């Protein structure tokens, strides 16, 4: 927001690009979870573009992003976040877009030293080099700490009016935001990408291990964002809606998965990911009963519906808490 504004103040036409990898947090769980109800249900990139009065292009990179996540040359951060490779990839995509649309250079809001992996003095040139953007990549917020880029050397941008921010503190950015009258802005760090989340990364690792393959589709990674995931065996796991919003979201997948729900008591919708035999189905039904209002009842009726539409009725006793093993929770 600041980087765009700084450049726009020089009379330069700016348009925004937002890449959708499938791992983005906002606009998804915020719209589902009760605990996130207070958070604005907005796409922050769109909202920022509106504040700035610029066009925003939302680009779906789900497919090409797989290679970035699966084979990051520079490795992962604390979790499954391949931040440096991700940034090289996104700037590379922006470069392609820039060329295709006759734009002249790229700006990002990066600041030297802001982030431990992708915004260090030694990694910022890596992004320029590996993305192919070279000196067409201008970082207006810390440009004065970096060698002049082509837009500065050519005088398209006045270097003197750019900034020399550095380090983890965001105080200078906040002061600049106040100067521009920006009182509301998106989370400045983390929390926007599920790959930085420890729980999410664990579920993704589990999915890959259970499938003996690191392939994934959009539905797989969306489902990892929702529900309680319990794996009683390598063959299958249960995805249990934790509240009404999640049950509704999981409903959208009920034609693709064997799913269970209690018919005698209120309770969650449960999707079964994987293959189950009769004994395992019984166990899944007992776990389903455990998470519903019939958890203390002697018996609970559970309906299992298969993707082909066939239905099986089960009459089970809820699994006692001491039999619900901790290690099953992913």
Q: Does 82 bind ligand SF4 (CB under 6 A)?
A: yes
CA angle (31 as vertex; 28, 34 as ends), nearest 5? 125
Q: Does 139 bind ligand SF4 (CB under 6 A)?
A: no
> Binding to ligand SF4 (CB under 6 A): which residues in 142-181?
none
Q: Does 94 bind ligand SF4 (CB under 6 A)?
A: no
**One residue of 5, 28, 87, 290 binding ligand SF4 per CB under 6 A:** 87
**One residue of 81, 119, 131, 173 binding ligand SF4 per CB under 6 A:** 81
Say what the alpha-carbon torsion angle 266, 268, 272, 273 is, to the nearest 10 degrees. Answer: 170
Candidate ranges 42-50, 168-176, 188-196, 231-239; the one touching ligand SF4 (CB under 6 A): 188-196
**One residue of 143, 195, 300, 314 binding ligand SF4 per CB under 6 A:** 195
Q: Does 86 bind ligand SF4 (CB under 6 A)?
A: yes
Q: With respect to ligand SF4, which residue has the nearer C-beta, 87 or 290?
A: 87
**One residue of 123, 149, 196, 201 binding ligand SF4 per CB under 6 A:** 196
Q: With respect to ligand SF4, which residue has the nearer C-beta, 74 or 265?
A: 74
Q: How far apart are CB 99 and ligand SF4 at their closest, in Å?
A: 22
Q: Which of 227, 229, 226, 225 is nearest to 206 (CA)?
A: 229
- Burial category of 113 from C-beta neighbours within 10 Å (exposed 0-12, middle 13-18, buried 19 and up): middle
Q: Which two tokens stand for residue 110?
A: 């990066």
Collect all residues with Cβ–Cβ distance below 8 Å to 194 and sequence separation of at least 6.
23, 24, 25, 200, 221, 224, 225
Q: Does 294 bind ligand SF4 (CB under 6 A)?
A: no
Which phi and psi angles does 315 have, rounded to 5°? Answer: -125, 105
Q: With respect to ligand SF4, which residue has the nearer C-beta, 74 or 254?
A: 74
Number of chain positions touching ligand SF4 (CB under 6 A): 9
Q: With respect to ligand SF4, which residue has the nearer C-beta, 10 or 93?
A: 93
Q: Does 83 bind ligand SF4 (CB under 6 A)?
A: yes
Collect all residues with Cβ–Cβ distance below 8 Å to 223 and sequence separation of at least 6.
239, 253, 271, 273
Q: With respect to ligand SF4, which residue has the nearer C-beta, 90 or 240?
A: 90
Q: With respect to ligand SF4, which residue has the nearer C-beta, 9 or 198?
A: 198
**One residue of 7, 193, 221, 319 binding ligand SF4 per CB under 6 A:** 193
How far apart CA 49 and CA 41 sit, in angstroms, is: 16
- Residues found near ligand SF4 in the complex (CB under 6 A): 81-83, 86-87, 118, 193, 195-196
């Amino acid at each position: 927001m600041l980087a765009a504004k700084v450049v726009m103040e020089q009379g330069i036409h700016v348009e925004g690009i937002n890449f959708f990898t499938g791992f983005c947090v906002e606009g998804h769980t915020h719209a589902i979870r009760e605990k996130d109800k207070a958070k604005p249900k907005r796409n922050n990139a769109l909202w920022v573009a509106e504040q700035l009065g610029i066009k925003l292009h939302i680009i779906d990179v789900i497919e090409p992003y797989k290679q970035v996540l699966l084979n990051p040359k520079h490795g992962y951060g604390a979790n499954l976040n391949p931040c440096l490779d991700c940034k090289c990839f996104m700037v590379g995509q922006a470069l392609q877009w820039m060329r295709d649309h006759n734009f002249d250079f790229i700006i990002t809001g990066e600041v030297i030293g802001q982030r431990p992996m992708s915004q260090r003095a030694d990694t910022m040139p890596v992004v320029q080099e590996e993305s192919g953007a070279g000196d067409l990549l201008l970082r207006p917020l810390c440009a004065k700490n970096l060698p002049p880029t082509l837009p500065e050397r050519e005088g398209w941008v006045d270097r003197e009016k750019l900034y020399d921010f550095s380090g983890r503190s965001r105080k200078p950015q906040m002061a600049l935001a106040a100067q521009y009258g920006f009182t509301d802005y998106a989370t400045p760090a983390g929390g926007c990408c599920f790959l930085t989340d420890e729980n999410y990364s664990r579920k993704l690792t589990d999915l890959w291990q259970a499938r003996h393959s690191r392939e994934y589709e959009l539905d797989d990674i969306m489902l990892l964002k929702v529900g309680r995931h319990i794996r009683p065996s390598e063959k299958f796991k249960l995805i249990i809606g934790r509240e009404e919003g999640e049950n509704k979201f999981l409903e959208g997948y009920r034609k693709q998965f064997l799913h269970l729900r209690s018919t005698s008591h209120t309770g969650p919708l449960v999707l079964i990911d994987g293959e189950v035999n009769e004994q395992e189905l019984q166990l899944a039904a007992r776990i389903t009963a455990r998470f519903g209002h019939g958890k203390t009842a002697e018996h609970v009726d559970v309906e299992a519906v298969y993707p082909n539409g066939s239905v099986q009725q089960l009459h089970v006793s809820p699994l006692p808490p001491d039999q619900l093993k901790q290690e099953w929770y992913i």
